[in-house]
Structure 1
Amino acid sequence: MDALFLSRIQFGFVISFHILFPAFTIGLASWLMFLEGCWLRTRKQAWMDLYQFWVKVFAISFGMGVVSGIVMSFQFGTNWALLSERAGSVIGPLLSYEVLTAFFLEAGFLGVMLFGQKKVPAAVHFFCTCMVALGTLISTFWIISAISWMHTPQGHEVVGGIFVPADWWAIIFNPSMPYRLAHMVLAAFITTCFVIGGVSAWHLRRGTQPDLAARMLKLAVAFGVIAVPLQVLVGDQHGLNTLKHQPTKVAAMEAHWEDGPPGEGVPLILFAIPRQAEARNDYEIAIPRLGSLILTHTLDGTIPPLTAVPPENRPPVAPVFYAFRVMVGLGMLMLLVVTVSAFAWWRGWLLRSALLLNAWRLLSPAGFIALLSGWYVTEIGRQPWVVYGLMRTSEAVSPNLTTAQVATSLASYASVYAVVFGAGIWYLYRLLKKGPQPHEKAPDPEGGLKTPARPLSAADESDIAERGSP
């Protein structure tokens, strides 16, 4: 429990909270753009009812994402000063581009999107919603570019121990960036898809707002049956890219310690207890050759084992091994649910199937769990490097940082997050439990109404009266 280890825990703790909310809002922003576009095209009130409901969820999630993101920036100076000193010339501009292109774009149109629905023409409001959705995607582009460069660095020179940009095109579009970006965007969309499907299934089971809930569930199924198989394909390509540039990470994902006899390929290990110190697995359950087929697309292909690198260059195997299986397992479960749901919709019994509705309800948080699991695989799997192959994590921590200082800040973060995000998540739960309200008055398309919207209200006056509150 030294300062380095606690700093890694603190960074992982903070980023675990932060990644959930931006990922959710990436999908929600595009979902809102779709809903408002359908309303503009058809003028059917149901589309606006759904928009007015989900924009409230978006507002709270976006706010919590901004708050958690601000905390992230402080750690680069307090805990990782040497990383900022040596790699700041590359990472700093990429993060600045995110602020200049994405954050300013979102900030410029977010207020109109949230509060101006009754103040501007409908077409103008829809344009603002589109700009916010675009801003979330641009933000993802720059963040993923910075992270990907740390995994597959190129386009730089090292001068006096400092990473100096030499080719920005190579830095931005580094070898893993396109795969990582596609994987992340699809993960965000699928996460939102299963939240929407789970909320709609919950209301269908309760019998509340059945028409709106049925519309949401069908849309979730339609999107999921496209996005989830596409994510499997993108994940496969991302895995091949990782094997090329970070083979040790792939070996940790598979707990592959030693090469087997020639021609036998690599087995797919379904379960094992990795023993890092002994460089072996206990209680291993494996399928011969299937690992080769998945990893190399051949039956006898091999990958470099963990023992091909010194022990000090190996990542912690157990968390990478288990997190990868959680991610893949949930992905296969989501694929099964959307496939069966699409068939049930085609046959006409989707909305009557208690089993499928319960499956959607149970899988509501599956996207978040899979997202975090994939993030742990990515970040823990690159250890002990912070800039892969060039700078170790132990070389990035701030000098003269004491264990007591980091322990105090970590405890403070945990306490504050428990209150702030606990309250925020509870508020989101209330919004989702209430559900979309039918037949709310649509905004005047000419902007004739003079009062701003109230996107943050979780309960109207009738709800307060029913609870007996003043």
Structure 2
Amino acid sequence: MEFLSDSVVLSRMQFALTALFHMLWPVLTTGMGIYLVIVEGVWLKTRNPDYYYHARFWSKFYVLNFGIGVATGIPMEFQFGTNWSRFSEAAGNFFGSVIGFEASWAFMLEAAFLGIMLFGWERVNPIIHYVSTILVAVGANLSTLWILTANSWMQTPAGGELVNGKFIVHDYFAAIANPFMKNSVLHMFFATLETSLFVIGGISAWYILNRRHEAFFSKSLKIALAAAIAVAPLQIYIGHLSGEQVYHYQPSKLAAMEAQWETTPAGQSADWSLLAIPNDKAQKNDWEITVPNALGYILEFKQKLTYPVRGLSEWKPEDRPHMIGLIYYAFRIMIGIGFFFAGLMLLSVLQWLRGKLSAENITQQRWLMRAWVFAAPLGYIAVDSGWIVRCVGRQPWIVYGQIRTVDGASNIPASNVLASLTGFTVVYSILFVAVLYFGSRIIRRGPNLELPLPGLEPDEPAVDTTPAEFVPDDRPVEAEQ
């Protein structure tokens, strides 16, 4: 229990808690914002009321996640001033301004037009409303751009130099376009989109399994599936490119990701560890299953690597990552979920081509619907696992190779950090329960298919009337509407 008296360790634990919890909510808003743009655009193009009701139903999840994202994001950023003030003083010339861009360019844009998107259906011109929905989605995804730019700079600092303990920016655009920036932004963008698609598909599959609005939710499932055809393989490919960058720019992190203790010289075959039990103290793996020569093919698509794969033993213990088992398995969980999503997408496409996902047949695909329900939370696990690899694997550096984590922490009593960490744990546990309650309430109620369509008088029928199978069922839970 020595860590309870170490303010740096407690500050790292607190930031890990707040960051991983916060990450759960914007993941859905950034991806679902794009989905809302799609369904509202189809509604305006076709005037098919199904897509209007989809926009209204899924926007409830958007606002729920937006609210919790704001409530958890602000305290997380405050920690740069409370727990990590020496880092902020050293890197604020660049890092602080980029975080400011996220607040002013992204969050303010999203917040400014969110009210119009939610409540402006009958109050503004349809084109104005659609533009508002687009701007909300743009704002949400600009957050991804600036947050990943800031974090990528911490991974591969560029555009300046450290002078007397402070980072002096010489080329602002080179700092923004640091080596990790492009792939990191793309990898996170597709992660949020993929997570959102499988959440939408999973919830839709739940309704289909329970025979509620089957035809209605078969549409949202197929929209998610159609997008996943492109997103799932692209995410795997961009993830591979990110791994190649780690190989070249952060060799100690790669060694931790692969639990590789000894160096494989350039020009030799590098084995890939499939499963292992890393032992930090003994500096070896107590047990492992390896695939001969596979790491060379994974990193460069050839057996013998151009550069050596350095093992952890090349660095002094204080200069390399620890918690190797956490990094190692978080990396494999992320990869496993990515390939599971791709496999589920392929099976679903096959069934779609066979005509098994039509409104008449989809209820018979119970095994497939259960797989989609199972997949719904996996994207969150993959995203948090990826951030564990990204940030724990960067240690002992807060700015890789330049500023150590211990030198970036504030000089505050450990008891103060322990008190705030306990408070965050309690409050976030309450918030999590609240989200589960309100989210399940939205799902239990289902879509309101009796809302008047914009531009029509209350007693005027729509041009494309809602089919009979879309009429809300008469189960008791629907009476709440």
* TM-score, normalised with respect to structure 2: 0.91
- The answer on 1:310 being equivalent to 2:321 is no
- The answer on 1:319 being equivalent to 2:326 is yes
- CA, structure 1 residues 445+231, in 2 after alignment: closer, same or farther (shift >3 Å)? farther
Cα offset, 1:439, TM superposition: 4.3
Cα offset, 1:432, TM superposition: 2.5
In 2, the alpha carbon distance for the partners of 1:200 and 1:190 equals 15
The corresponding residue for 1:252 is 256
Gaps in structure 2 of 5+ consecutive residues: 458-474
Q: 8 Å contact 1:122–1:445 — kept in the other structure?
A: no
Cα offset, 1:277, TM superposition: 1.4
The corresponding residue for 2:447 is 436
Equivalent residue for 2:397, pick from 385, 403, 418? 385
Q: 8 Å contact 1:267–1:290 — kept in the other structure?
A: yes
Residues 40-87 of structure 1, C-alpha deviation per residue, up to 9 Å, x if partnerless? 000000001111101111111101101111111221111111011111
Cα offset, 1:107, TM superposition: 2.3
The corresponding residue for 1:407 is 418
Relative contact order (C-alpha < 8 Å, sep 6+): which is higher?
Answer: 1
The corresponding residue for 2:380 is 368
In 2, the alpha carbon distance for the partners of 1:249 and 1:444 equals 57
Q: 8 Å contact 1:60–1:424 — kept in the other structure?
A: yes
In 1, the alpha carbon distance for the partners of 2:114 and 2:224 equals 25
Equivalent residue for 1:200, pick from 177, 197, 204? 204
In 2, the alpha carbon distance for the partners of 1:223 and 1:433 equals 26
Equivalent residue for 1:38, pick from 35, 42, 51? 42
- CA, structure 1 residues 24+262, in 2 after alignment: closer, same or farther (shift >3 Å)? closer
Cα offset, 1:434, TM superposition: 2.8
Residues 166-189 of structure 1, C-alpha deviation per residue, up to 9 Å, x if partnerless? 111001111100000000000000
Equivalent residue for 2:160, pick from 156, 162, 166? 156
- CA, structure 1 residues 20+445, in 2 after alignment: closer, same or farther (shift >3 Å)? farther
Cα offset, 1:261, TM superposition: 8.0
- The answer on 1:354 being equivalent to 2:366 is yes
In 1, the alpha carbon distance for the partners of 2:153 and 2:112 equals 29
Cα offset, 1:118, TM superposition: 1.3
Cα offset, 1:445, TM superposition: 7.3
2:356 counterpart SS class: coil
In 1, the alpha carbon distance for the partners of 2:344 and 2:81 equals 44
Between the aligned residues of both structures, percent identity stands at 39
Q: 8 Å contact 1:46–1:439 — kept in the other structure?
A: no
1:89 counterpart SS class: coil
In 2, the alpha carbon distance for the partners of 1:464 and 1:363 equals 25
The corresponding residue for 1:452 is none
Equivalent residue for 2:124, pick from 117, 120, 125? 120
The corresponding residue for 1:336 is 343
Residues 326-370 of structure 1, C-alpha deviation per residue, up to 9 Å, x if partnerless? 001111111110011001100112423211111001111011000
Counterparts of 1:218-233 in structure 2 under 5 Å? 218-233=222-237
2:453 counterpart SS class: coil
In 2, the alpha carbon distance for the partners of 1:128 and 1:42 equals 19
**Structure 1, 101-110 or 247-256: larger mean CA deviation:** 101-110
Counterparts of 1:59-70 in structure 2 under 5 Å? 59-70=63-74
Equivalent residue for 2:298, pick from 294, 300, 303? 294
Q: 8 Å contact 1:106–1:135 — kept in the other structure?
A: yes
Equivalent residue for 2:172, pick from 143, 168, 173? 168
In 2, the alpha carbon distance for the partners of 1:154 and 1:260 equals 29
Q: Which amino acid aligns with 2:401?
A: G
In 1, the alpha carbon distance for the partners of 2:23 and 2:114 equals 20
**Structure 1, 255-264 or 125-134: larger mean CA deviation:** 255-264
Q: Which amino acid aligns with 2:319?
A: N
Cα offset, 1:463, TM superposition: 6.8
Over the aligned positions, Cα root-mean-square deviation in angstroms equals: 2.1
The corresponding residue for 1:7 is 11
The corresponding residue for 1:449 is none
- The answer on 1:191 being equivalent to 2:202 is no
In 2, the alpha carbon distance for the partners of 1:333 and 1:40 equals 35
In 1, the alpha carbon distance for the partners of 2:34 and 2:444 equals 22
**Structure 1, 292-301 or 140-149: larger mean CA deviation:** 292-301
Equivalent residue for 1:137, pick from 138, 141, 160? 141
Cα offset, 1:414, TM superposition: 0.7
